[in-house]
């Protein structure tokens, strides 16, 4: 799959960020369901009234959306994306901002769930038992069963508390870099990017832009107000389905830390970034 369009870049960077975190800390995910996305000729009721996009091509609308996206201070991404470790999809719900703060959850089928809270200085990560067991199974230095059981008991219900610098070694920080993601956005090709009929969804009028690559169709729903943010991106017809919603633009990220008695440090567990589970 070539990630040359804005929608592909958004999806690709999210996937690569999650993959980096998984490679560093171990796999994540419980059962994530793939959502069927609306494609050409299906979905919301089409409308054809005049708006600020009148006369613009699909590529031009996409460029306006890209500019708006790059100006956003924060975004929340929710939905399903291609599983970077296997087939199918993984589920994510992550809000991130341009300062590197984030809060969210990533879930991959069969591999547990990882929750992350990242502020300016501290990062908190909490995995469920399935996540930690999968992490131990892929650790560089696999512990024996006694040490594994002791570790699982120590982290049960707790958040791993790390400095931002330590979190880089664990791959967590890469999940929260909105600025890097938006900087990678590129213009779309007029040959493959086309505008479809506008739609109304939940009372909001949206422009629809399709980008085709063989049988695969990437569809972007774009707000038709003064800030033409993309609000939904779907990928259908290919081998890597995706359905992402982009919401909570420019809203502060809640980085309230968990209670102290629910945290534990890598040092408490005898871990370093080079010997992570």
pLDDT at 272 over 70: no
Nearest to 6 by CA among 201, 267, 189, 173: 189
Q: What pLDDT sits at residue 170?
A: 60
SS3 210: strand
Nearest to 234 by CA among 199, 207, 201, 210: 210
Name the DSSP letter for residue 112: B
pLDDT at 155 over 60: yes
Alpha-carbon gap, residue 131 to 112, rounded angstroms: 4
Listed range (88-92, 95-99, 124-128, 186-190) with the worst mean pLDDT: 186-190
Q: What pLDDT sits at residue 187?
A: 66
Averaged over 156-168, what is the pLDDT?
86
* Contact predicate 94/107, CB 8 Å: no
Nearest to 73 by CA among 217, 158, 151, 182: 182
Distances from the Cα of 52 to the Cα of 4, 8, 162, 198, 203, angstroms = 26, 25, 47, 12, 17
Task: Write down the pTM of the prediction.
Answer: 0.78
| pLDDT-above-90 percentage for the chain | 38
Beta strands in 214-266 (DSSP E): 216-223, 230-236, 242-247, 263-264
pLDDT at 44 over 50: no
Helix axes 6-25, 58-70, angle to 10 degrees: 40
State the average pLDDT for the chain: 77
HSE on the CB side for 30, CA within 13 Å? 8
List the Cα angle 210/211/217 in 5-degree steps. 85
Q: What backbone phi and psi angles, to 5 degrees, belong to 159? A: -100, 135
* Contact predicate 207/221, CB 8 Å: yes
* Contact predicate 167/159, CB 8 Å: no
Within 10 angstroms of residue 275's Cβ, the number of other Cβ atoms is: 12
pLDDT at 102 over 80: yes
């Amino acid at each position: 799959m070539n990630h040359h369009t804005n929608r592909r870049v958004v999806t690709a960077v999210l996937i690569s960020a999650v993959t980096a975190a998984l490679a560093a800390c171990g796999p994540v995910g419980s059962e994530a369901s793939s959502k069927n996305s609306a494609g050409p000729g299906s979905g919301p009721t089409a409308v054809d009234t005049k708006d600020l996009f009148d006369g613009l091509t699909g590529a031009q609308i996409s460029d306006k959306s890209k500019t708006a996206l790059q100006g956003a201070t924060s975004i929340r991404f929710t939905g399903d994306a291609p599983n970077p470790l296997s087939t199918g999809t993984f589920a994510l719900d992550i809000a991130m901002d341009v300062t590197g703060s984030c809060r969210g959850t990533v879930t991959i089928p069969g591999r547990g769930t990882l929750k992350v809270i990242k502020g300016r200085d501290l990062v908190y990560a909490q995995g469920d038992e399935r996540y930690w067991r999968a992490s131990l199974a892929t650790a560089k230095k696999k512990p024996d069963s006694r040490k594994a059981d002791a570790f699982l008991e120590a982290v049960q219900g707790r958040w791993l508390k790390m400095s931002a610098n330590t979190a880089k070694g664990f791959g967590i920080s890469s999940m929260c870099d909105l600025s890097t993601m938006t900087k990678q956005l590129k213009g779309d090709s007029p040959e493959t990017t086309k505008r479809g009929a506008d739609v109304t969804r939940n009372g909001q009028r949206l422009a629809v832009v399709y980008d085709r690559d063989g049988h695969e169709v990437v569809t972007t729903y774009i707000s038709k107000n003064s800030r033409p943010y993309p609000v939904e991106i779907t990928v259908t017809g290919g081998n890597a389905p995706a359905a992402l919603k982009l919401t909570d633009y420019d809203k502060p990220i809640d980085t309230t830390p968990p209670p102290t008695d629910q945290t534990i440090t890598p040092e408490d567990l005898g871990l370093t970034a080079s010997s992570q589970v």
